[in-house]
Amino acid sequence: MNKCTLHDRRVLALTRIGLAIAFVASGSRWLEAAPADFNRDVRPILSDNCFQCHGPSASNRKAGLRLDIESGAKADMGEYRAVAPGRPDKSELISRITHSDSDERMPPADSGKALSSEEIAILKRWIAEGAGWSRHWAYEPPKKHPIPEVNHSDWPLNWIDHFLLAKLEPAGLSPSPDADRVTLLRRLSFDLTGLPPTSEEVSSFVADEKPDAYEKRVDRLLDLPAYGERMAMYWLDLVRFADTVGYHGDQDHSISPYRDWVIDAFNQNMRLDQFTREQLAGDLLPDSNIDQKIASGYNRLLQTSHEGGVQPKEYLAIYAADRVRNISAVWMGATMGCCQCHDHKFDPYTMKDFYSMAAFFADIDEARHLTKSSDTVPTIREPEMRVLRPAERERADALTKRIATWQAEVSLKSPQDPTERPLRDRIRDAQRELEAIQKNARLTMITVAIEPRVMRMLPRGNWLDESGPIVQPEVPEFLRPLSHATGRANRQDLANWLTDPEHGSGLLTARVFANRFWYLTFGVGIAKVLDDFGGQGEPPAHPELLDNLSIEFVQSGWNVKHMMKLLVMSRAYRQSSVVSDALDRVDPYNRLVARQGRFRLSAEMVRDTALAISGLLVTDVGGPSVKPYQPAGYYRHLNFPKRSYKPHTDQRQWRRGVYMHWQRQFLHPMLKAFDAPRREECTAQRARSNTPLAVLVLLNDPTFVEAARVFAQNILRQPGSAEFRIDFAFQQAVSRRPDDWERQKLADLLTASREQYRSNTEGAAQLIHIGEAPLAADLDPLELAAWTMVARAILNLNETITRN
């Protein structure tokens, strides 16, 4: 999980919205701080430094003091009060955190924690101002806030901009200028489809001066199949989708139709509440159809072991804990995994909450593989069903009906009837087509409900200890209660509760997802820690804006495309991402959103971009996972059974990264180099590293070398000088012409490469024969090798793989 460091928090405290620090235009002085806000300023300090010993966990609580609730913090402890409102000098909290004796000072030295002078000052000021208290922000339902008035009313384009500008203006800051149209279209294309725009699309957009030109581009991108693939990349990280079981032999399992269902759901703009129900409880829905059963495969995505000697009870406990961790992180922004063995140390979740949540999934038929171990690839993970893609099912149904009709007609005809033979031929052709379609059917794991197994609280998480009380399916006690029909609650009840804004947790769920939509379009969430809205997360920088986005999401009918369009249509989204020195000094983490984000593309997009630029990208939607080139021997340590990796050698090699085979224990090296997760747990935000290894992948991975060679073939087919071709290549890759320095450097590289390959024809031949893409026989091999080097350099540019 992504956590803010203590250093991050201290720096961010200076830029959190509403804090003090309005910056005067001269830069010479700071205005006095606004009153301390408990959730924004105080709770993070207490959570970081105090809650572990004075928080929700009764078993870990010291001195009987509880600081996570108002009644505990302000309680009369006889000789003292930890917090005496209005009297810092009478507050034991202040006395202990400022004590001169290191044995008396809090936090204890052996805790590894220490309060900074700024944090102490905040606590003193908060108490002096009356020690106002608020329930933790993430557990309060969002409420609609009025759109704030701003001085520069000509800047906002929608209501989102008003909220941001209302925080910038008091700080003496201005929004960044609008991004140029080329940068804007590239940003929009990457954010909504994960692919760069073509040079033709760029030219068309730049030339289109109509007022609605931008909105039309937004609508067009949202309607492309690539949109669903881009959104699925993120969702598959959240739900830890992979092609292998994870534990022990890490054998393949059958689940690729679930990925196709996710892509289709985003492209069809399925409501998020329905999206939730079909995954958690697709098998329980009335008249559950094939697609809903495929969606229920969500419950089977966790890691499993197929070792012969596994203890079934142990692994059922492991699987139950895995499910609670995932559903709480994905839908609740919560870290309920922390209370598998004890009550949560920082948040109000208890062990009973943990095992009660696990009880919702106690009816899943998942133990068959524990008694029927299989070292085969793919392994057996019953229950499974064989399915076709929706279009294939539709065609197969049509053919079946047609064949039945024709056979009925044939039965009424005599052999001498001249129309009888052609009719039989049509039946035969239709049957052949139907057989060919049926061969495309794939196995996929599904959920089947059985009699729920008994769920107990496991003391200290120990699966051998059955002394804990039996629990029933129930949601966390401190949240709104579950509404369901009489009898035992089930997974459908849980899905309904998660998305019910009136009687359940729907508004809290909407806040979690609204924050993630912001992350997808700005590069960082309004609340920075996307999978932890609890005490160890970070309060939202713009809480009122996040509240309004959450309510907008619900009122739109849980419409994901509506939310994505709303965000990208804002003026804030269209800002330049260039960082000025003045802005960097005031707001280094861009929490005020006075500019757009600039960041490297995710691993799959890096690969897709190279393939798209070269012209190799295959844009077919859906289907089995694909296996690109991979270093020989990479799987040599995989056992049970031993296996070797066999890359595809046809056009599947050039499909989008979302379809790549995801081997949990041995993730593809290219994905690994660019920070893709192994998907053992929910990943709400990937790391973004910048390492030499990533550079070497871009230069030497056969996929990128092959893309560079095909790109070079396209470059060489452009009539004109080397300078013209360099300009063409640059335009194709980064949507602009190179400047004089860039053009000269590439020309120098071309000259050096020509000289190199004149004396090393064998090296040139090896370079241009990497990969399976057809080699252009009409081109000079040495010239092709030289231009391949130029193409490799262009594909390796930071600008090529960066979203600005």
Q: What is the largest CA-CA distance in the chain?
A: 111
**How far is residue 231's CA from residue 249's CA, in Å, rounded to a whole number?**
30
pTM: 0.93
What single-letter amino acid sits at 252? Answer: D
Single out the residue of 662, 639, 659 nearest to residue 651, CA to CA.
Answer: 659
pLDDT of res. 58: 84
- Please give the share of the chain, as a percent, with pLDDT higher than 70: 96
Q: Go through 749-779 and write b for each residue having 16 or more CB atoms within 10 A of its CB, e for each that does not.
A: bbeebbeebeeeeeebeebbebbebeebeeb
Q: How far apart are the first and last CA of the chain?
A: 26
Distance CA(594)–CA(662), nearest Å, equals: 38
Q: What are the structure tokens assigned to 90, written together? A: 């009478």
Residue 28, pLDDT above cutoff 60: no
pLDDT at residue 19 tops 50: no
Distance CA 318, CA 461 (A): 10
- Backbone dihedral region for residue 718 (phi beyond 0: left; psi -120 to 50: alpha; all else: beta): beta
CA distance 347 to 102: 28
Using the structure block, give the residue that is written with the tokens 């040079």: 199
SS3 226: helix
Mean pLDDT of 172-193: 97
Is 237:605 a contact under the CB 8 Å cutoff? Answer: no
Instruction: Name, of 47-61, 64-78, 406-420, 542-556, the range with top average pLDDT.
Output: 542-556
User: How many angstroms separate the CA atoms of 455 and 410, rounded?
Assistant: 60
Query: How far apart are the C-alpha atoms of 508 and 505, rounded to whole Å?
Result: 5
Q: Cα separation of 548 and 137, whole Å?
A: 14
Compute how many other C-beta atoms are within 10 angstroms of the C-beta atom of residue 457.
19
Q: Which ranges in 362-505 belong to alpha helices (H)?
A: 368-371, 390-411, 420-438, 491-498
Neighbours of 417 (CB within 10 A): 11
Please say if the pLDDT value at position 6 is more than 60.
no
Q: What is the pLDDT of residues 709-753, one digit of tens each?
A: 999 999 999 999 999 999 999 999 999 999 999 999 999 999 999
- Of 28-32, 493-497, 674-678, which range is least confident? 28-32
The CA distances from residue 713 to 426, 725, 746, 749, in Å, are 45, 11, 16, 17
Q: What is the pLDDT of residue 60?
A: 81
Tell me the C-alpha distance between 237 and 117, whole Å: 39
Name residues whose C-beta falls within 8 Å of residue 751's C-beta, 6 or more positions apart in sequence. none
Q: Are strands 599-600 and 802-803 parallel, antiparallel or unpaired?
A: antiparallel
pLDDT for residue 79: 75
pLDDT value at 152 more than 70 = yes
Distance CA 667, CA 677 (A): 8
With a cut of 90, say whether residue 557 has pLDDT above it: yes
Q: Rounded to whole angstroms, what are the CA distances from 415 to 262, 407, 419, 686?
A: 51, 13, 9, 68
The 10s digit of each residue's pLDDT in 574-587 is 999 999 888 888 89
Distance CA 702, CA 705 (A): 5
Q: Please state, in angstroms and rounded to a whole number, the distance separating the CA atoms of residues 404 and 408.
A: 6
Residue 373 — pLDDT band, cuts 50, 70, 90? low
CA distance 78 to 82: 11
Q: Which residue has the higher pLDDT, 484 or 596?
A: 596
Report residue 412 CA to chain centroid gap: 59
Kindly report, residue by residue over 613-627, the tens digit of the pLDDT.
999 999 999 999 999
Residue 35 pLDDT class (50, 70, 90 cuts):
confident
Residues in CB range of 11: below 8 A, 6 or more apart? 588, 589
Residue-level length of the chain: 804
pLDDT band at 155 (very low <50, low <70, confident <90, very high): very high
pLDDT tens digits, 405-463: 999 999 998 888 999 999 999 999 999 999 999 999 999 999 999 999 999 999 999 99
Grade residue 646 by pLDDT with cuts at 50, 70 and 90.
very high
Does 334 score more than 60 pLDDT? Answer: yes
Phi/psi for 110 (5° steps) reads -75, -5
Q: How confident is the model at residue 33 (pLDDT cuts 50, 70, 90)?
A: low
